[in-house]
Homo-oligomer: A and B are copies of this chain.
Amino acid sequence: MIPNVQTKMMEEARAQASFESKKMAEVIHGRHVTTLPTLDRHNAAFQRVEKALGATDNMKLPPIYGSMNREELLLDGFKAGKVVYEDGVDNNCDVFEYITHHGMLANASPFGLMRFLFIPPIKLLGTDAQVAEWVPLAESGKIIGSYAQTELGHGTQVRGIETTATFDRDADEFVIHSPTLSSTKYWPGALGCASTHTLLMASMIIDGKNLEDFKLLPGIELGDIGMKMAYNGTDNGYAIFDHVRIPRTNLLMRHCQVSRDGRYAASPLRQKLAFGGMLSGRAIIIRAATFQTLSQLPSACSKDNANTRFWSLELAQALTIATRYSVVRQQGTLSQPDEPTAIIAYKHQHFRLLSLIAKSYTSLLAWKSANDAFLDLKSRQERGDHSTLPYLHMLTCGLKAWSTQTAADGAEEARKMCGGHGYLAMSGIPGIVTSVTATCTFEGENFVMWGQVAKYLLKGFDAAELPADMEYMGEYETVIEDEEICCAEGQELLAHDTLGEIFQYRAATLAREVYSGVKASEATGMSRIEAENEHALQLHVAARAHIELFILHESIKQLNRLPASTPDTIKTIVGRLISLFALTTIASPLSAYSSSFLEHGYINSSHLKDMRQHIDDLLEVLLPDAVALTDAWSFSDASLASALGCRDGDVYNRLLTWTRQLPINVEAAKNGGVIKTGWEENIRPFLTRDLPHLVIKARL
């Protein structure tokens, strides 16, 4: 590469860092958590797959940006999915179990639901014989599985499902049928054409279709549901069943059985696990929510043996691109009229980049605590102890909602930070924005998720004793609103403990206040469900406050638990990022929900003034580390697929090089440099048509 203005600016920006990004990468990628794949193993897997996909030359236009229609996008997804799955099988490698080669959630690939929503339910719900029959076939990629739950008229709420599975005693079969328009299965990933087998949610879970010839069973209408905002490399599909017959024994029968003569029996364990709905559906939704939660945090994940590892780093990817672009893009000037200024020097850019980077790092640390709690639940459940299930349900719902919204908003902000060029598909950010925003509504719409957290809080107050995670609220029982003022000031407002107390005060006050509101509504004769709806917005904010407190508390805890071998500079920087996260959450008027810190008068304008000074100071001291903080996430150029975000900073050169490789321009080059698409047929006749009255007018 010939160095140019931009690559030199990138080099200089990178050289300013106060720490070694590799050391931070080890913190992120879990060098210190022994169950994690090491950074090297992670990098090696990406390199293998990128080589197999021919994606290693970062001056070569990624085909996805070329000229693909629905079929071609899907074919590209098939091909890449196959390469990635094969890599996993051939190398016994788990790096891509839950992510694609672009770091997107695995369900962006037709192969992606296998380890996510196909194999786990079979293991959970299938008999030993069923597990032995299906799991090895799925794990080795001899079948492709999907998970058919969502219907045209029904989302993640299992209760509404209309598809029927009627047992025919004479034939010893279930008859699968779509009795109404709205019972059409609609949305399941890989259902459009890729999957050979599906887990079908009807009144029971059924394993369908025929293995031998990969042909559809008679009576099934099935297809693709077309273009989506993103995820177009997979075939989200629809299916309509017209009395389709499958053997009775295809019902997954570990916890419930239908006997040869049609008697239904469920084991007690099933009842225990199934709080409020069907065991399998709810369990899978919880798990899925967990996946989503964790997947949105820019984090590596500790591994357990039942598929709780995931790795989707879309916010971090968007921030990597925006940060790298911001140090080489020049616009206007701040002081010397003739000295163009890199846009990262503009305060709003500087603030937005670093406050989002701080969110990413903080939530990564907090995620580790959530994962520990999840692993603890699993080992308890194996001993028959389901006591922490409600807590985990609340936590995963809340973290899912918080992290997906944070990632979606943050990625779009990163898009805006790249100005016009960020709007171009080749910048890589539109694909991130449009895919990550899907997670706000799928696997549990976020407002519904917050409602689950709120329900938990209300139940916590209802109980004789506050649950452990709500104990802190007991301290604020006697608080009379508007009478207490935070007594910290100046430097104290920078301390993690003080910030934690402020988060705690807010969460407790909001929760107590809305609980009184709900009780008052109930006293007028409303049901709990009606009262919850009446106070839905206040409950939403209280739920958020409880989750943000968790994120702050646990990130501080995880910082303190970093191994002694972690360099002090790394600890210092992580500590600063946590402070910046907390301070901007409270004191930035740009932050949604920040008014909830102020409304009871606990924080006043004098606190805000001090806090904003701290924010300014932190921004200043973190600025030289911006590039290194994003380098530490260790994204390969190929996985970013961004003309603006490659490591070398050579943005204009790459943008133009890729532009020239666009098929539409390559075709034009063959045609004397003129793009002809539709021009000759449509535009020339238009321009050259006779318009007598206008020609006359023109001559006047």
Contact of A674 among B184, B215, B590 (CB under 8 A): B215
Tell me the nearest residue of chain B to A140, going by C-beta. B694
The answer to whether A269 has its CB under 8 Å from any CB of chain B is no
Contacts of A194 in B (CB 8 A): 679, 683
Residue interface bits A1-30, CB-to-B below 8 A is 1, else 0: 000110000000000000000000000000
Contact of A143 among B652, B672, B687 (CB under 8 A): B687
Known: A137-B698, A181-B4. A70 touches B541 (CB 8 A): no
Contacts of A537 in B (CB 8 A): 347-348, 351, 588-590, 612
B141 contacts A662, CB within 8 Å?
no
Contact of A656 among B238, B335, B529 (CB under 8 A): B238
Contact of A659 among B5, B85, B238, B440 (CB under 8 A): B238
B595 contacts A605, CB within 8 Å?
no
B346 contacts A536, CB within 8 Å?
yes
Known: A238-B656, A536-B347, A677-B193. A430 touches B74 (CB 8 A): no
The answer to whether A314 has its CB under 8 Å from any CB of chain B is no
Minimum Cβ distance to chain B for residue A346 (Å): 6
Contact of A227 among B425, B665, B667 (CB under 8 A): B425
The answer to whether A274 has its CB under 8 Å from any CB of chain B is no
A660 contacts B223, CB within 8 Å?
yes
Which residues from 629 to 682 on chain A have a C-beta closer than 8 Å to any C-beta of chain B?
Answer: 652-653, 655-656, 658-660, 662-665, 667-668, 672-679, 682
Contact of A182 among B442, B538, B652 (CB under 8 A): B652
Rounded to whole angstroms, the CA-CA distance of A440 and B418 in the bound complex is 12
Contacts of A597 in B (CB 8 A): 595
The answer to whether A152 has its CB under 8 Å from any CB of chain B is yes
Minimum Cβ distance to chain B for residue A284 (Å): 16
B78 contacts A682, CB within 8 Å?
yes
Rounded to whole angstroms, the CA-CA distance of A310 and B179 in the bound complex is 48
The answer to whether A34 has its CB under 8 Å from any CB of chain B is no
The segment from A326-334, A471-479, A564-572 found at the interface with B is: A326-334
Contacts of A617 in B (CB 8 A): none
A605 contacts B481, CB within 8 Å?
yes
Choose among A72, A437, A665, A697 the residue with the greatest number of B CB atoms under 10 Å from its CB: A665
Contact of A71 among B67, B196, B331, B600 (CB under 8 A): B67
Rounded to whole angstroms, the CA-CA distance of A687 and B72 in the bound complex is 21
Minimum Cβ distance to chain B for residue A691 (Å): 5
The answer to whether A142 has its CB under 8 Å from any CB of chain B is yes
B594 contacts A605, CB within 8 Å?
no
The answer to whether A160 has its CB under 8 Å from any CB of chain B is yes
Rounded to whole angstroms, the CA-CA distance of A157 and B67 in the bound complex is 31
Tell me the nearest residue of chain B to A231, going by C-beta. B423
Which residues from 506 to 542 on chain A have a C-beta closer than 8 Å to any C-beta of chain B?
Answer: 527, 529-530, 533-538, 540-541
A527 contacts B335, CB within 8 Å?
yes
Contact of A434 among B192, B229, B695 (CB under 8 A): B229
The answer to whether A383 has its CB under 8 Å from any CB of chain B is no
The answer to whether A155 has its CB under 8 Å from any CB of chain B is yes
Residue interface bits A587-628, CB-to-B below 8 A is 1, else 0: 011111111111111001110100010001000000000000
Tell me the nearest residue of chain B to A535, going by C-beta. B347
Residue interface bits A266-289, CB-to-B below 8 A is 1, else 0: 000000000000000000000000
Rounded to whole angstroms, the CA-CA distance of A696 and B329 in the bound complex is 57
Rounded to whole angstroms, the CA-CA distance of A5 and B144 in the bound complex is 36
The answer to whether A59 has its CB under 8 Å from any CB of chain B is no
A157 contacts B331, CB within 8 Å?
yes
A70 contacts B67, CB within 8 Å?
yes
B228 contacts A423, CB within 8 Å?
yes
The answer to whether A224 has its CB under 8 Å from any CB of chain B is yes
The answer to whether A562 has its CB under 8 Å from any CB of chain B is no
The answer to whether A82 has its CB under 8 Å from any CB of chain B is yes
Contact of A223 among B226, B653, B662, B694 (CB under 8 A): B662
The count of identical subunits is 2
The answer to whether A222 has its CB under 8 Å from any CB of chain B is yes
The answer to whether A153 has its CB under 8 Å from any CB of chain B is yes
Tell me the nearest residue of chain B to A138, going by C-beta. B698
Tell me the nearest residue of chain B to A509, going by C-beta. B605
Contact of A593 among B329, B331, B589, B668 (CB under 8 A): B589
Rounded to whole angstroms, the CA-CA distance of A369 and B474 in the bound complex is 53
A589 contacts B541, CB within 8 Å?
yes
Which residues from 459 to 480 on chain A have a C-beta closer than 8 Å to any C-beta of chain B?
Answer: none
The answer to whether A416 has its CB under 8 Å from any CB of chain B is yes
Minimum Cβ distance to chain B for residue A64 (Å): 9
Minimum Cβ distance to chain B for residue A462 (Å): 20
B196 contacts A226, CB within 8 Å?
no
Contacts of A221 in B (CB 8 A): 673
B430 contacts A434, CB within 8 Å?
yes
Choose among A351, A598, A608 the residue with the greatest number of B CB atoms under 10 Å from its CB: A598
The answer to whether A426 has its CB under 8 Å from any CB of chain B is yes
Rounded to whole angstroms, the CA-CA distance of A441 and B438 in the bound complex is 23
B675 contacts A192, CB within 8 Å?
yes
B592 contacts A590, CB within 8 Å?
yes
Which residues from 219 to 268 on chain A have a C-beta closer than 8 Å to any C-beta of chain B?
Answer: 220-229, 235, 238
The answer to whether A292 has its CB under 8 Å from any CB of chain B is no
Rounded to whole angstroms, the CA-CA distance of A468 and B664 in the bound complex is 53
Minimum Cβ distance to chain B for residue A395 (Å): 21
Rounded to whole angstroms, the CA-CA distance of A688 and B141 in the bound complex is 9
Contact of A675 among B193, B605, B667, B676 (CB under 8 A): B193
Contact of A687 among B214, B541, B612, B660 (CB under 8 A): B214
The answer to whether A500 has its CB under 8 Å from any CB of chain B is no
Known contacts A71-B667, A215-B672, A481-B605; 20 additional CB pairs below 8 A are A66-B226, A78-B677, A79-B682, A139-B694, A140-B695, A141-B687, A144-B687, A153-B652, A160-B340, A186-B655, A194-B683, A227-B424, A228-B424, A334-B530, A348-B537, A482-B604, A482-B606, A540-B590, A589-B593, A599-B605
20 contacts between A and B (CB under 8 A): A69-B69, A71-B678, A136-B698, A140-B697, A150-B420, A152-B656, A157-B332, A160-B330, A186-B655, A187-B420, A193-B674, A196-B687, A224-B675, A225-B424, A226-B425, A229-B433, A229-B434, A347-B537, A416-B440, A589-B592
Smallest CB-CB A-B distances: 9 pairs: A136-B698, A193-B675, A140-B694, A347-B536, A75-B678, A595-B595, A223-B665, A67-B70, A227-B425
